[in-house]
Structure 1
Amino acid sequence: MNRTTLKPYGRSVSIIGVGCTPFMEILGSPETEGLTEGELFGYAAIEAMKDAGVEPKDIDYYFHGQANPNFVSEYITPNMQVANWFGMKGKGSMHHSEACCTGYLALEIAAMAVASGKYDLVLSASADMGASLPVEGQPAHKRREFTLEEFNTSLKYIYDRAYTRGMQAGMYTVFDDLAALYARDHQLDAKTMDDVLCAMAINNRYNASKNPLAKLQITYEDIAKEKGMSDAMQYMQSPFNPKIGDYMRVSGLEERSEGAAAVIVCPTEMAYKYTDHPIEILGTGSSALEASNPHLERRATREAYRQIYTLTGVKPSEIDLFFANDFVITSHLDAAEIAGYLPKKDGYKYVLEGRTRFDGDKPINTNGGRTSFGHAHAASGLADVYEAVKQMRGECGERQVKKLPKTTMLRGFGGGQNLSATILRTL
């Protein structure tokens, strides 16, 4: 496996503005049905501009991210389709797509554009429609249900299919893989692993319950009471939350959503012109492994962490807040242990004790993660950046973490290929 040695940015880059839509399903609600990705993208972008105190004319360049635009929106060049929604007509732009890692790398490419010296103010946003599909031949606001069968079939596009004939079959995602690996490595029996997976989902929902942008805000404790059960764990291990494999239950999978999020970056030397609370981007480590590589997520995660820790000199003990793209929920626990944020071999105990909730001493995914905040594929990474910035500024109200974070790590992963590790720090 190849290794990369990172060099510092040509000049320091900081975040000065963020924006995010609620994550939702647009179908079935008179308030949202008919929304398009252009409107969602524009909403998030305008919110970020308001946050930074800038206008469209001030932005030098923008990046557009979407996981699979041709499939979910019938666009090939979606960056041009959204420009008029937020006052960017005629501005230079570029589209990129890295599956569910798109939003995390959206921050990196914006930072590199500013660090190069070519631009001073760059907006980067991602939008996705993860719960509906276009009606072929109809205007963009006409959409239909995106069935689970269609979604699972679409996963074949993340694999290198050149060798599937030699393997005598196509390849599909098996959601249990990381849970089985974690249980084996930690010598956990099936009951304990089930408790851990359910506790992660309970903690994510607890975090989301205080977040007005989250798709699912009713706690599992309240749901259990409605069902006449004594506690959340009883509900989680009941037929209401069935297993879909040896370990995974429905509660451990992403909540497919529609949404968008945006960020604006500039040279750190200019940042205080726009905000009293700039957040510096120390850098991003990256790795990519095609999905047929054994243990691709763990191997690429370790490489991305190695890069960013070596570049920045940051130690795991300095990380105050941690995010991981947990569309399969085991991912945030495993990634936190590999990062050294949670102790290796004992991280699951922190989950069971509730210490990874926003009000615990090791907060993870304070917005609710992919299982409760929602997963609007390309937009999810920037939604995590939005949450990280808000937490680091101390702007999260009743869900503010106990210790104001100075240093935050975000681990992105998506498409069975792209992986990133970004460290942010308050100035």
Structure 2
Amino acid sequence: MANKLKEPVYILGVGCTRFGNLLETPEIKGLTLQELAANAVKEALEDSQTDPKDIDAIFVGNVTMHTSTMPATYSQIAKWTGMQFKAGVHFDGACSTTNVGITLGAMGIASGVYKKVLIVGLESTLSQPQKLSPYERETIPTEEMWLWTDYCVNQAYAVPQGYDIFPTYNGLIAQAYCKKYGYSIEEFEKGMFELCRTRRLHGSLNKKAINQETLEDEAARIGYKDPYEFWKSKYNPFLAWPSRLRSAVAPADGASAIVISGEDGLMDYTNMPIEIKGWGVTISDLPWYHEDPTYMHYDRLSFDKAFDMAGITPENIDYLHVHDCSHISSICTAELSGYLPEGKGLKYAEEGRLRFDGDRPMSTHGGRHAFGHAWAASAGADTYEAVKQMRGLCGERQIKSIPKISVVHTHGYAMVSTVMVYGRR
């Protein structure tokens, strides 16, 4: 049957490092990227109750290989994680990388070729090797990092300074959303302010997030009694009008890992397996949208494929993460998925309904702004959060009604649209 797995596949274990800066964040400071990846793998193996020798294949993703000097990422990470002589491959789906890896591994298991597969994503967006040393690193200039990021798009369409993601993903979509649904710029500001407060609240409750300071605490630290005054101040400038700096991604270094298995892997397994019920992957190219910047057709295709494969409708979704490099773009995507009603997402954000304790919880790990964004590792971090929520292990930010169905959407530079559907077994 088309678009169906012939055998069920499950997530047995997940691992994720603290997202931060290898040059300064205490939990990861001074680690090589090999060590960073090994830490995520160690957690995933322990969570899945799996010995490395029982892994049949390892899929490793890394986007900006020039920041790691590891073009042969798979072979190096296999050596550092006890997977030498296993089957494996390096792959790249930009910011969708780790979840694309889950689809590849699931097909390998459902075909009968593999019993257990390990998927790893690792990235450094903030530092690069000094000369050729794997141990000594230095800061990547911001403009250089974004130029390398722009390599993810078709260079035939690029301008000399690189294809500029910020106006396209933030300003133009924001203006179109306001015009389409009749929001004033002031209403847009208030909605974005509340959405950022939600993301930062989630980050403050997550010890793995790059930014664990609430928006209110940041405002007070800088000297503002009213956090909304801080929001509209020089400390939160327009990135691409009318979107501001704190409605956008925070680059990070980090790694994530996932162990998946078929039914055979459930023997003697005592944790809660999470079923990979379905997915949809659609590849596009520039331009991202056509007449309506709030609507990306390839996302529609990915959601339709995933919902069909999983046998669900939007009404079945208990928890949603959508790619939120741009907060207004994430609202558009959540509405397109059917999780939020069209034109109402901004209102839902302003009313606090997208919080972990709201009726439409989203991105409870903090999202790309508060949790941070480590390109190839981030999709795995999104899956990590979904699995933890479905197991009821998220502590203070735990969704009260434990999700039975979670949907995770990622954009690989808005070019690789990936939608994963997970269900409690």
TM-score when scaled to structure 1?
0.93
The answer to whether structure 1 residue 127 and structure 2 residue 122 are counterparts is yes
Indicate whether 1:200 and 2:200 are aligned.
no
CA contact (8 A) 1:106 1:382 kept: no
CA shift digits 1:17-55 (9 cap, x unpaired): 111101010113576443121111111111100011111
Distance 2:103 2:172 in 1: 29
1:419 maps to: 417
How many residues get paired? 419
Q: Measured at CA, do residues 352 and 171 of structure 1 come closer, stay the same or move farther in structure 2, by a change above 3 Å?
A: same
Q: Deviations over 1:193-231 (max 9, x none)?
A: 122222221110001111111111110111222334333
Contact 1:103/1:125 (<8 A) preserved: yes
The answer on 1:8 being equivalent to 2:19 is no
Matched, 1:104 2:102: no
Answering whether residue 163 of structure 2 is matched by residue 171 of structure 1, we say: yes
> 2:154 aligned with 1:156, yes or no?
no
> What is the aligned partner in structure 2 of residue 374 from structure 1?
372
2:18 touches 2:27 (CA, 8 Å); kept in 1? Answer: no
Residue 270 (structure 2) aligned to one of 263, 268, 275: 275
Offset, 1:171: 3.4
Question: Which residue of the partner structure matches residue 52 of structure 2?
Answer: 56
| C-alpha contact 1:268 1:280 (8 A) present in aligned 2 | no
Letter in 2 for 1:16: L
Judge conservation of contact 1:284–1:423 (CA < 8 Å) in 2: yes
> Is the partner of 1:201 in helix, strand or coil?
helix
Residues 68 and 97 of structure 1 are in contact (CA less than 8 Å); yes or no, is this contact kept in structure 2? no
**In the alignment, which of 311, 314, 325 is matched to residue 312 of structure 2?**
314
CA contact (8 A) 2:58 2:78 kept: no
Give how far 1:16 is off: 0.6
Q: Identify the residue that residue 364 of structure 1 maps to in structure 2.
A: 362
For 1:246 and 1:29, the matched residues in 2 are separated by 31
Q: Whole-Å Cα distance in 2 between the matches of residues 49 and 30 of structure 1? A: 23
Q: CA deviation at 1:294?
A: 2.9
Cα deviation 1:346-391 (Å, max 9, x = unaligned): 1111100111011111110000001000111110000011110000
Structure 1 residue runs of 4+, over 6 Å off? none
> For 2:134, which of 140, 144, 147 is the aligned residue?
140
- What SS class does the counterpart of residue 123 from structure 2 fall into? strand
Moved more, 402-411 or 26-35: 26-35
Preserved contact between residue 10 and residue 117 of structure 1 (Cα < 8 Å): no
1:222 to 2:214 alignment:
no
Q: Deviations over 1:121-159 (max 9, x none)?
A: 1111101001112223x2112211112111222233123
Structure 2 CA distance for partners of 1:318 and 1:163, relative to 1, 3 Å:
closer
Instruction: Indicate yes or no: 2:256 matched with 1:264.
Output: no
Find the aligned partners of 2:56 and 2:98 in 1 and give their Cα distance: 20
Task: In structure 2, list runs of 5 or more residues that go unmatched.
Answer: none
- Find the counterpart in structure 1 of residue 241 from structure 2: 246
CA contact (8 A) 1:272 1:278 kept: no
Task: Report the Cα offset of residue 163 of structure 1.
Answer: 5.4
- Runs (5+) with no aligned partner, structure 1: none
- DSSP-derived class of the 2:296 partner: helix
1:8-47 paired onto structure 2 within 5 Å: 8-28=4-24, 32-47=28-43
Aligned to 1:351: 349
Deviations 1:218-246 (A, max 9, x none): 10111222334333322212111111221
In structure 1, C-alpha distance between the alignment counterparts of 2:22 and 2:161, rounded to whole Å? 36
What displacement does 1:77 show? Answer: 1.2
Structure 2 CA distance, aligned partners of 1:283 and 1:29? 36
Q: Distance in 1 between matches of 2:274 and 2:342?
A: 29
Structure 1 residues 220-229 or 396-405, which shifts more?
220-229
Q: Percent identity?
A: 33
Task: Pick closer, same or farther for the CA change 1:359–1:29 going to 2, 3 Å.
Answer: closer
Structure 2 counterpart of 1:207, which letter?
H
Task: State the Cα distance separating 1:181 from its structure 2 match.
Answer: 2.2
Q: 1:72 aligns with which of 54, 67, 74?
A: 67
Mapped partners of 1:148, 1:350: distance in 2 = 33
Check the 8 A contact 1:291/1:416 in 2, yes or no. Answer: no
Residue 268 of structure 1 and its aligned partner are, at CA, apart by: 3.4
Deviation at 1:56, TM superposition (A): 0.6
CA contact (8 A) 1:79 1:93 kept: yes
Amino acid paired to 1:119: Y
In structure 2, what is the equivalent of residue 114 of structure 1? 109
Distance 1:115 1:232, change over 3 A: farther
Q: Using the alignment, how far apart are the partners of 1:421 and 1:29 within structure 2?
A: 31
Q: Which amino acid aligns with 1:370?
A: R
**How far 1:169 moved relative to its partner?**
8.7
Partner Cα distance (2:242, 2:129) in 1: 34
Q: Relative to 1, partners in 2 of residues 1:369 and 1:169: Cα closer, same or farther, differing over 3 Å?
A: closer
